Chain A
Amino acid sequence: MLEFTVNGESVRVEVDPGTPLLWVLRDTLKLNGTKYACGRSLCGACTVHVDGSPVRACVMPIESAANRAVTTIEGLGAEKPHPLQTAWIEANVPQCGYCQSGQIMSAAALLASNPNPSDADIDVAMAGNLCRCGTYDRIRKAIKTAGARIRDDRAAVRDDNRSTVT
């Protein structure tokens, strides 16, 4: 029996040792938003966050997730849409859409640490996420839009705090 948190809820699963997190999410927990496309950490379609860091779920043995917090695409915007999800819709980013959960999870990890990424930062953070349909320029555009909104929101919160203090 293994315990970990998925999208804020704690879960216990009994699966074969060595089962990749991806298959526990998909086949055991029925969280199908996280995709399989290569199974070898080559494409990023299975990207989730483990304790906030982007991880390729297809190669992470479930033991490594024990007692840690996993966030999947289903949990990313559960309370309110993540700015990336809104920006993705506005820019009509997805084509087939199959890679997009992974793209958004990688982008979310990037913006969490750097809400003002340069093109080079985006290249580094996103180079492991393949999009066979070629939606890259819209991905880049949407990341920048979302980053700008996150920065604006933070600035607004700071202003708010300041006015509360004074």
Chain B
Amino acid sequence: MTQSRREFLQSSAAIALTVAIARPTLAADESPATPGNAYLRVGADNRVTAVLPTSEMGQGTHTGQAMILGEELGIDPSQIHIEMPLRPAEPYRLFFGQMRSVGSYGIRAWYEPLKKAAAQVRAVLLEAAGERWRVPVSELDATDGQVVHALSGRRVPFGELVEAAAALPLPEDPPMRPAPDTNDVDHTTRRVDVPAKVDGSAVFGTDVDVPGCLHGAVRMSPVYGAEVLSLDADSIEGFPGIEAIVPVPNGVVVVADSWWRAKRAADALSIEFTDTDDATLSSEALSAAMREGLEGDLPPVVRRGDVDAQFQSAVKTVDVIYEVPFLTHICMEPLVCTAHTRENHLELWMPTQGHDIVRMTVERVLGFTNEQMTLHTTYLGGGFGRKTHGEIAEQAILASRAVGAPVKVMWSREDDIQQGYYRPAMMARLRGALDANNRITAMHAQLSGPQMGRTFEHVTVRDNNDFFSVASLIDQPYAEHFAMDHRHLDVPMPLSPWRAVSSSQNGFFMEGFIDEMAAAAGMDPVAFRRAHFEAHPRHLAVLDRVAEMSQWDAPAPDGRHRGVAVVQSYGSAVAQAVTLRMERERPVVEHVAVAIDCGRAIYPDAVEAQMKGSVIEGLAAALRHEVPIADGRAQRSNFHDYSPLRIDEIPDIEVSIVDTGAPLGGVGEPGIPPLAPALTNAIFSATGKRVRVLPVSARRT
């Protein structure tokens, strides 16, 4: 494999040289016609360029998509030159009709369009070769960047066919290669973005270096939603390198010739913010408001069957309240955007997941059309939902406009943790009814807390059903008779999707609750779930797999305790079994078994990486993450009080991919929801105590 790639490299280098000599030089603006479409084109220099719809933030989307293109076209993915479009455009839009890198859609939604795009290009290359050699296309194949006629042993690099292929129409329905049927974790497919990430050459948003670029640091209101009342520019008189203090919503950007200088001045600036009603807000008050919200009748979201009748005839019922806190994303790369605002054109360099959100921000702030914007997408040093928003673009645009030069605005870690865009806090009351056969007959799930969808420009709340609040409750697999309510609570802090969005909290509510139902039924948690999964083969398959991996049917080793959870989200079913021991009343997680059914795994190595990363993130969140609020301000500031797990804190994580023949599912997010309940269910098994409030370290009940 390595050998043939090296050979290919050598031969293509030789060919490129021949072409360069044999042809007259093209003028720069006279680019030759190339066969291709919105996603893929092939150059006369043999360069295969992909224009990809989703941003690379660590999930491996560029490699996965390059694999889809490469497999279909007949070229090694590492040989594909990767770009992203310079502004959102129709071919790259999907979610809400927008270009966004969200929803674990990178592979599952783009598999077909990309495969077809590559098949189109291959079809015209084969046709061109067929004409050249006067052989039927059915005798040709494309591999390693060449068209091959096996019968005669002839080969021709794509680049030599470009001119002829460009003249041919792209077929509407090109023949496609059959999909390989394997889910084996093949560790040999190298990530296309990795070489640049080990030598410091990868350009993240923080690393954009535009000539003449100035740097911006922010000073923003510590109380959400407050505005600048007054500031004293003299207070930073004499600070070196300061260019401007630029007002932006909820604060200012201080612009200087280095970020360090800008930051020091921003910190020293004497500034007063408006007083708002939210300046007394506390986590306790928010919890009390959510609890109050659970009283009386709540506004309904969904009603299925006859829940009341089932409760009346129930043999046993369970009625419990769960709660989760605000969470922040702590992307390793803080928010950052470089803007160059000119009179009629805006150029942005940005690690963004929300291309159309940025476009909408630009329209609102500058009144510019999409065509007046050029948006360069850099690598994202983590996204997790946080980099979907436009606030950082707005700050950079305004700062650049004020100083008439490009400005790179970057938040500090403290800004990142304290300025919100949190996963909403939420409280849930769950009631369930069991019949004499220990079957769940009915459930009533009630949410009390912010409906995040209300806070976005494109409102996603219809008939009290908030797209960003209901997943992994509304689609629960357990009860036929089901009711769900949601009472919205207004909160001042901005909210954001956080990896797995509402499934991150609802998975915990539901699977913690199901464990309580199992206990009420006097049944083993795996056996109890199994009995309810007759019509849910994917849930059953992943549950059985983790039961096997964790040797559930054998007694747990001495001093070890296990918990399990199964959640379907983003089109994938994931089960996790946590094995832990208690040390001085604190859980120490030793092993996590993960089984995922994401349909056929396109890039199994990335599936494994995403599952492990999700377990590590889910565990940190469940054990210790929360953003408590006091006096309207976040009570966390940096990694000392909001830390990811360290290398010496992680459990053994074992991942298994299960294929039940289901359609392609997402991978980036569905590993998150089962972790918290599997953990708290294991804690119950160890201590007999239910953890219904996260994080575990909060020790509230």
Interface residues of A (CB under 8 A from B): 15-16, 19-20, 23, 26-28, 30-40, 42-43, 45, 72-74, 76-77, 81, 84-85, 88-101, 104, 122-123, 126-127, 129-140
Contact = CB atoms under 8 A, between A and B. Distances in A.
Contacts of B617: 132, 134
Contacts of A131: 332, 644, 647
Contacts of B381: 35, 37, 96-98
12 contacts: A35-B206, A40-B638, A42-B643, A89-B194, A89-B195, A96-B57, A96-B331, A96-B333, A97-B193, A98-B204, A130-B646, A134-B615
B586 interface: no
A32 B525 CA distance: 51
B613 A134 contact: yes
A143 to B, nearest CB: 10
B77 interface: no
Contact of B638 (A30, A38, A77): A38
B222 interface: no
Nearest to B213: A27
B647 A123 contact: yes
B249 interface: no
B367 interface: no
Contacts of B615: 134
B198 A135 contact: no
Interface in B376-418: 379-383, 410, 412-413
B332 A130 contact: yes
Contacts of B412: 39
A96 B382 contact: yes
Given A30-B209, A132-B382, A98 B333 contact: yes
Given A16-B261, A40-B638, A45-B332, A133 B58 contact: yes
Contacts of A132: 330-332, 382, 617, 644
A127 B646 contact: yes
Contact of B650 (A26, A92, A100, A134): A134
B259 interface: yes
Given A36-B206, A96-B382, 5 more contacts: A31-B200, A39-B413, A42-B639, A45-B332, A95-B613
Given A85-B198, A122-B647, A134-B617, A92 B638 contact: no
Nearest to B257: A27
B616 interface: yes
A90 B189 CA distance: 9
Contact of A100 (B197, B207, B638): B197
A27 B259 contact: yes
B59 interface: yes
A137 B194 contact: no
A110 B123 CA distance: 52
Q: Counting chain B CB atoms within 10 Å of each CB, which of A30, A32, A74, A96 scores highest?
A: A96
B439 interface: no
Given A27-B259, A30-B209, A96 B612 contact: no
Q: Counting chain B CB atoms within 10 Å of each CB, which of A88, A92, A104, A130 scores highest?
A: A92
B609 A92 contact: yes
B632 interface: no
Nearest to A140: B647
Interface in B327-344: 330-334
B260 A94 contact: no
B626 interface: no
B644 A139 contact: no
Q: Binding site of B, secondary structure by majority: helix, strand, loop or mixed? A: loop
Q: Counting chain B CB atoms within 10 Å of each CB, which of A38, A73, A81, A100 scores highest?
A: A38
A35 B382 contact: no
A134 B330 CA distance: 13
Q: Counting chain B CB atoms within 10 Å of each CB, which of A36, A101, A104 scores highest?
A: A36
A29 to B, nearest CB: 11
Contacts of B202: 97
Contacts of A137: 612, 650, 653
A139 B647 contact: yes
A49 to B, nearest CB: 13
Contacts of B331: 96, 98, 132
Given A33-B199, A42-B640, A134-B613, A92 B209 contact: no
Given A42-B638, A137-B650, A88 B194 contact: yes
Interface in B176-224: 187, 190-191, 193-204, 206-207, 209, 215
A99 B646 CA distance: 13
Contacts of B204: 35, 97-98
Given A33-B199, A92-B191, A133 B332 contact: yes
Nearest to A120: B648
Given A28-B258, A42-B639, A133-B382, A93 B332 contact: no
Given A37-B332, A98-B204, A134 B645 contact: yes
Contacts of B606: 92
Contacts of A35: 204, 206, 332-333, 381
B636 to A, nearest CB: 13
B199 A85 contact: yes
A73 B191 contact: no
Nearest to B330: A132
A42 B646 CA distance: 11
Interface string B51-86: 000000111100000000000000000000000000
Nearest to A105: B200
Interface string B243-276: 0000000000000001111000000000000000
The 3 A-B residue pairs with the shortest CB-CB distance, nearest first, are: A33-B200, A98-B381, A134-B616
A16 to B, nearest CB: 6
A133 B613 CA distance: 5
A135 to B, nearest CB: 7
A104 B332 CA distance: 16
A137 B413 CA distance: 26
B537 interface: no
B504 to A, nearest CB: 16
A32 B199 CA distance: 11
A101 B204 CA distance: 12
A16 B259 CA distance: 12
B240 interface: yes
A35 B381 CA distance: 10
B260 A27 contact: yes
A38 B639 contact: yes
Contacts of A95: 58-60, 609, 613
A73 B202 CA distance: 11
Q: Counting chain B CB atoms within 10 Å of each CB, which of A33, A37, A130, A134 scores highest?
A: A134
Q: Counting chain A CB atoms within 10 Å of each CB, which of B260, B334, B609, B644 scores highest?
A: B260
B332 A27 contact: no
A148 B587 CA distance: 35
A39 B203 CA distance: 20
Interface in B614-662: 614-617, 638-640, 643-648, 650, 653
Given A96-B382, A98-B332, A135-B613, A32 B200 contact: yes
A24 to B, nearest CB: 9
Interface in B648-685: 648, 650, 653
